[in-house]
Structure 1
């Protein structure tokens, strides 16, 4: 190791960004989404009734999204929506700097990444909620099928299908952004595994830790999310 490398390491700042619940949410959501898409493309093994598994993955997604919404309001510093949602002017300035390869580093999501996260969560939320009104007219009826009459039952499958295509586009953009930032030297995947990001300069959004009753909030958010998922699962 050279003297220059040693100096660089000594100047590296480690910031704990993603708490354990955010990391668990992220990877659980990824697994549920993969299962959800997979079960729309298969009619047999390894699942005896893929439509049932598809629905159950949706119930898990709803619970995870409920948790994320609550945690985005009362969670740890960088988990809160207020930490990574920026106005149009700041977002436009960041986009311009990104094109010029002069974009500053952020501990939490950067301005474009923050809005991408919101779009993904909204699209996932609509996909999961719209699925509660569906039926295959043979073996499966979702918990809210027929609740608002046949008219909604006719339009919801089309919206569910269209939003599925939109969701795939958003996921593709999300992955493209991940690859871009990785090529720029940001280790985003390891950060979502360890919760820690490394910086040689202070990030643009560095914030002091906020003193909150996180443990009580976490228990409450998890209980609410589990209760909703459990009710849908056993309805």
Structure 2
């Protein structure tokens, strides 16, 4: 009888590329900077952090379409039913044989990216409206401008709640299932059964090209929103 993948000898597999790891930790840093600068009323720093975050989010969206295998949305976005089945077994202790995001984690990634995108875009317009810099500031009705400002304010609360949920999920996986989700996001590697194939990785130059494109789009949005 086949013993299954759990009985295979473990080996070190590179599951997260450098682009995904840099995006993750730079996002953590910039969200912290955005929070502190907002609390301290350091508007210029807050805006720069938001613009850089927007560029990173746009890059991650592109990388989710053209990047490494574990970074691609088509690879890790499961159906809601699959995510629910995964969560039903959250308390079950079992070996970690997941190459990339699990079925529930994929939806968390989408949620965080969506909230970051809404927050950075609304913040970009909100700042230009206050500073009277963007061309749209003169033509957008006051009611719409106020609605965008409200979205930016409440969007931050939603983002903070999602971040707390994300951190709690990492802790639950560590304590209940004994799965180390944090370590591989630092080193890029995790120990998996020898029968598990290493995911395909995209080139560094493609990542650099997509990051340049994201930075260009962010610059144009900052100038014209």
The reply to whether TM is greater than 0.5 is: yes
String of CA shifts for 1:52-107, please: whole Å, max 9, x gaps: 11111111011001110010011111111112110122112111111444586412
Which 5+ residue runs of structure 1 have no aligned equivalent? 1-9, 44-49
Q: Summarize the Cα distance change of 1:137–1:84 in structure 2 as closer, same or farther, 3 Å threshold.
A: closer
CA distance in 2, matches of 1:103, 1:158: 45
Alignment partner of 1:111 is 2:103? yes
Alignment partner of 1:222 is 2:211? yes
CA distance in 2, matches of 1:103, 1:185: 8
SS at match of 1:199: strand
Alignment partner of 1:53 is 2:45? yes
TM-score (norm 2): 0.84
Mapping of residues 95-110 of structure 1, within 5 Å: 95-101=87-93, 105-110=97-102
Alignment partner of 1:34 is 2:26? no
State the match for 1:165 in structure 2: 157
String of CA shifts for 1:127-156, please: whole Å, max 9, x gaps: 000112214987x34645345232211111
SS at match of 2:190: strand
Do the aligned partners of 1:56 and 1:233 also contact (CA within 8 Å) in 2?
A: no
Q: Summarize the Cα distance change of 1:190–1:101 in structure 2 as closer, same or farther, 3 Å threshold.
A: closer
Which 5+ residue runs of structure 2 have no aligned equivalent? 1-7
Higher relative contact order (CA 8 A, sep 6+): 2
SS at match of 1:187: coil
TM-score (norm 1): 0.81
CA distance in 2, matches of 1:191, 1:102: 18
User: Aligned residues, how many?
Assistant: 216
Alignment partner of 1:66 is 2:55? no
Q: Summarize the Cα distance change of 1:103–1:87 in structure 2 as closer, same or farther, 3 Å threshold.
A: farther
State the match for 2:4 in structure 1: none
CA distance in 2, matches of 1:147, 1:224: 28
RMSD (CA atoms):
2.7
Moved more, 57-66 or 147-156: 147-156
Q: Equivalent of 2:12, from 11, 14, 18?
A: 14
Task: Judging by fraction of residues, say which structure has more helix.
Answer: 2
Alignment partner of 1:187 is 2:180? yes
Do the aligned partners of 1:32 and 1:61 also contact (CA within 8 Å) in 2?
A: yes
Moved more, 180-189 or 81-90: 180-189
Q: Summarize the Cα distance change of 1:61–1:211 in structure 2 as closer, same or farther, 3 Å threshold.
A: closer
